[in-house]
Amino acid sequence: MSGVTERLAAAPFPAKTELATRFRKSAGDYVASLDVARDGGWCVAGLGDGTLLAFETGDTGDTGSGADRFRVRAHEGTVLGARIAPDGTRVLTCGQDAEAKLWTADGALVRALPGGATTWVEHVAWSPSGDRFATAAGRVVRIWTAQGEPLVESEPLASTVTSVAWRRDGEALAACCYGGVHVLSLRAHEKTRHLALKGSLIAMAWSPDARVVAVATQDGSVYFWRLATGQSSEMSGYPFKPKALAWDRDSGLLATSGDASVTVWEFRGKGPEGSKPMQLQGHRGLCTHLAFSPRKGVLASGSQDTSVLLWEPRRGTRPVRFAFLEDEVTALAWHPEHRFLLGADASGTIACWEAS
């Protein structure tokens, strides 16, 4: 019996719901980051050996699905972040060295951007319109023009920045670290805002409607702030520290990880304070990644047990479709129009599945 067949036999969900595979390929090393271009035609992956890999998806009907577009040595250590600009003309990367880098869509280096004397650049993020981007290195956040010219540099925060997220209008950036979340505004009349919280924060997600910032904490809880009122609440009781957070497109559901199950909180109606969360059970190992589809109410989750599950939380708590990789799931990324889902794992496997 093959490994995949054994996993199918042990899975607590029917085999007839398996996702159809568009293509499957080996990247060659651990995949730490994955992103899909806004037009859906190509993707980038950041690898453990410092390689930036770009490959075609075959979204327009050609037969080159999964074919390499380019491979370049981007960083000395793992490529921790790789993001395609909204207009598809640039790629932004960071890794285990002291620079972020800006590349053309063909893999030519445009500019190296300093992160600090000896600090890794661990996070990069394009603004929604693509007219600027952010980098985070150590305790400092920097904002740049799309061409790589410096705009803003924060004062050193309390500790190493663990996540950054843009507000939907691109006029503010949130950065979380030990002691809370700092919201840096690019508008002259808006001051930097500190959402204080004792303890270490390890993940953050800003709701699509810009009303709520949620964080996962080292002590095994999820905390959130309603920005209009400053009201805050804590959701505790997770068996392990949550590592992944994901909002649905309507900002009504917040999916969180913390063990093999996925915990989903409802933000409509009475909100999470007045309701019990949904528990989505199907994985046998710790859930490592979560991603809601940008077009439909479908949630993808990936696990240490190699499984990828699709859920429709508003319709039920059982997985509706599934697939397997070869190792722990390290990245998930949706096509912007929900046409397919990409997943990657610790052994370097990248798979693309039909989603619609």
Sheet containing 68-73: order of strands: 31-36, 42-47, 51-56, 68-73
- Is 338 domain-assigned? no
Picking from 136, 25, 150, 22, the residue whose alpha carbon sits closest to that of residue 83 is 136
- Is 321 domain-assigned? no
pTM of the predicted model as reported, rounded to 2 decimal places: 0.93
pLDDT score recorded for residue 2: 42
pLDDT score recorded for residue 34: 98
Structural domain for 55, as ranges: 32-288
pLDDT score recorded for residue 13: 54
- Is 313 domain-assigned? no
Share of the chain above pLDDT 90, in %: 84
- Is 355 domain-assigned? no
- Is 91 domain-assigned? yes
342, 351 contact by CB (below 8 A): yes
SS (H, E, C) 220-250: CCEEEEECCCCCEEEECCCCCCCCCEEECCC
Residues of the chain short of pLDDT 50, as ranges, are 1-2, 4-5, 8-9, 14-15, 63
- Is 345 domain-assigned? no
pLDDT score recorded for residue 11: 56
pLDDT in tens, 140-163: 999 999 999 999 999 999 999 999
Question: CA 131: distance to chain centroid?
Answer: 20
Report the DSSP pairing between strands 340-345 and 329-334. antiparallel
- Is 239 domain-assigned? yes
Read off the tokens for 80: 């921790």
pLDDT score recorded for residue 63: 46
Q: Distances in Å between the alpha carbon of 44 and those of 21, 54, 70? A: 19, 4, 9
Q: Distances in Å between the alpha carbon of 223 and those of 108, 217, 233, 236, 272? A: 41, 7, 6, 8, 11
How many domains are contained in the chain?
A: 1
Q: Distances in Å between the alpha carbon of 179 and those of 42, 159, 176, 201, 316? A: 38, 8, 8, 8, 37
- Is 346 domain-assigned? no
Read off the tokens for 146: 């799309």
CATH at 55: 2.130.10.10
